[in-house]
Amino acid sequence: MERTPSITSFLARRPLATRYKAPGRINIIGEHTDYNDGFVLPGASHLHLTFAVEPTLSKELQVHACRYAETVTVELEDPTIRMDHWSRYVAAVVHTTRAHDLPLTGLEIIFEGNLPAGAGMSSSSALTCGLIFILNHQCGWQLPVDRLIKLAQESEHRTGVRGGLMDQFAIFSARRQQALLLDCRSLEAQFVSISQEGATWCLVDSGVHHNLLDSPYNQRREACERMVALAARKDPAIRALRDLNLQTLHALAPEATPEDLAMARHVVTENDRVLQMVQALQEEDWAVAGALLLQSHQSLRDDYRVSCIELDFLVDSLMALPGVFGARLMGAGFGGSVLFLTEPERFTDIQTTIQSTYQQQFNRTCDVYCIELDDGVQIIDHQQNVVINE
Ligand code: GLA
């Protein structure tokens, strides 16, 4: 079998191949609110996947993953999903397109990138959204972005995780140096400028890498649904946790389990924090922004119960360092990354300290980096990395 090529060797042999870029997702605040019709404030990271694609005459997608040094071939007519393998996202995308009667042509695709897998930055959505964007371009679908977002989400659901829409929305629609305030009920989005002055957004990748399929993500979602069903018995106008406030939630206390009640409380309070964060960012009030991050972490840890010892340790250690405004786990939880906001000039000291403290505590390394908010998925021009907005 041919060894998996690199993108460079692939392009050397196929100079007319088209290149694409799909970023990872970061989320300033608003965790586990998207599937509750709530608010989120994500953006796209500068860490991304790069794809190179060329049409073939076959009836298959041949996909090379440089990261895993593996090639898979997925039949367009009969895609088989291997649940324990990265290729499930490729097969799931083919299933979805077939379910929607969208035309497919044979393609050879190679991808690589600096986006870490399992770090809470939605590398799976970057792959899925990247593939949907590529198929839209290569197979002449010409679908609007809102349909592509939904197709990507549907594909990911086929892999077993009932995620919300935040990751796909951010990966398709994000803009450089901006976060995106998304109302997950109306799908209205508003861009919020992220100032580069005075404070820097950074990440620590704990190296505890989760697979959401094995994690209790879907169970959290079911708890939310139970609470909505309970609330709707009292008021049929209630369709999602978005429609509750602390008072209406309190009224459900006698009928709900303490665990379900706490999970719903996280969602209700987190929605509020998203809106407060937008104001703090607009006012460049870093102390308030930092306090909101920490409150979010505490709520995810105690009420939603999606943290783990490594993430709690990182948040506590960061909060003890001078210059750190706030920190919280980012993404679904159960591992992944901690997001923190710091005075820019402190970053290097923080990086060194956190890496050595983490090493001493858990005998493992962690990556610490600053985030640049970038544009969403896009085509990269053949010659000189010039981006064409499509
Ligand atoms: C994952 C899901 C998102 C969202 C986050 C938690 O990233 O894909 O839809 O629910 O977890 O905020």
Q: Taking each helix axis as running N to C, give the angle between helix 145-158 and helix 166-173, from 0 to 180 degrees, rounded to the nearest 10.
A: 140
Whether 167 is catalytic is yes
Regarding whether 266 and 134 lie in a shared domain, the answer is no
Is the CB of 34 inside a 6 Å radius of any atom of ligand 1? yes
Atom of ligand 1 nearest to the CA of 217: 11
Is the CB of 331 inside a 6 Å radius of any atom of ligand 1? yes
Give the HSE-up count for residue 254: Cα atoms under 13 Å, Cβ half-sphere.
2
Q: Using 50, 70 and 90 to split pLDDT, how confident is the model at 37?
A: very high
Regarding whether 309 and 250 lie in a shared domain, the answer is yes
Regarding whether 275 and 221 lie in a shared domain, the answer is yes
Atom of ligand 1 nearest to the CA of 120: 7
DSSP string, 115-146: PPTTSSS-HHHHHHHHHHHHHHHHTT----HH
Q: First vs last Cα of the chain: how many Å apart?
A: 36
Q: Using 50, 70 and 90 to split pLDDT, how confident is the model at 389?
A: very low
Centroid of ligand 1 to alpha carbon of 14 (angstroms): 37
Residue closest via CA to ligand 1's atom 1 equals 332
Instruction: Return the DSSP state at 28.
Output: S
Residue closest via CA to ligand 1's atom 8 equals 163
Q: Taking each helix axis as running N to C, give the angle between helix 309-319 and helix 286-302, from 0 to 180 degrees, rounded to the nearest 10.
A: 160
Is the residue at 241 inside a domain? Answer: yes
Catalytic residue of the set 167, 243, 303, 375: 167
Centroid of ligand 1 to alpha carbon of 332 (angstroms): 5
Query: Residue holding tokens 């786990």?
Result: 329
Regarding whether 320 and 270 lie in a shared domain, the answer is yes
Instruction: Phi first, then psi: give them for residue 107, nearest 5 degrees.
Output: -145, 150
Q: Write the CATH number for 114.
A: 3.30.230.10
Q: Cα 375 from chain centroid? A: 14
Host domain of residue 262: 200-373
Regarding whether 104 and 144 lie in a shared domain, the answer is yes
Is the CB of 270 inside a 6 Å radius of any atom of ligand 1? no
Regarding whether 189 and 210 lie in a shared domain, the answer is no
Centroid of ligand 1 to alpha carbon of 321 (angstroms): 29
Residue closest via CA to ligand 1's atom 2 equals 163
Point out which residues pair with 330 in neighbouring strands: 337
Give the CA diameter of the chain.
68
Regarding whether 68 and 116 lie in a shared domain, the answer is yes
Is the residue at 1 inside a domain? Answer: no
Regarding whether 134 and 61 lie in a shared domain, the answer is yes
Q: Lowest-pLDDT range, 2-11, 60-69, 155-164? A: 2-11
Is the residue at 102 inside a domain? Answer: yes
Q: d(Cα 390, Cα 385) in Å, to the nearest integer? A: 15
Task: Give alpha helix (H) positions in the chain.
Answer: 7-13, 88-99, 123-138, 145-158, 166-173, 217-234, 246-250, 258-282, 286-302, 309-319, 347-362
Centroid of ligand 1 to alpha carbon of 161 (angstroms): 10
Regarding whether 223 and 189 lie in a shared domain, the answer is no
Is the residue at 2 inside a domain? Answer: no
Regarding whether 265 and 215 lie in a shared domain, the answer is yes
Tokens of 235: 């008021």
Model confidence, pTM: 0.95
Regarding whether 270 and 184 lie in a shared domain, the answer is no
Instruction: Indicate the number of domains in the chain.
Output: 2
Q: Write the CATH number for 285.
A: 3.30.70.890
Is the CB of 332 inside a 6 Å radius of any atom of ligand 1? yes
Among 29, 34, 89, 225, name the best residue to mutate to test ligand 1's pocket (greatest count of ligand atoms within 8 A of Cβ).
34
> According to the model, what pLDDT value does residue 1 have?
43
Is the residue at 152 inside a domain? Answer: yes
Atom of ligand 1 nearest to the CA of 156: 8
Residue closest via CA to ligand 1's atom 9 equals 164
List the helix and strand counts (H, then E) for the chain.
11, 15
Regarding whether 290 and 277 lie in a shared domain, the answer is yes
Is the residue at 19 inside a domain? Answer: yes
Question: pLDDT tens, 71-126?
Answer: 999 999 998 888 889 999 999 999 999 999 999 999 999 999 999 998 999 999 99
pLDDT at 50 > cutoff 50:
yes
Is the residue at 310 inside a domain? Answer: yes
Is the residue at 190 inside a domain? Answer: yes
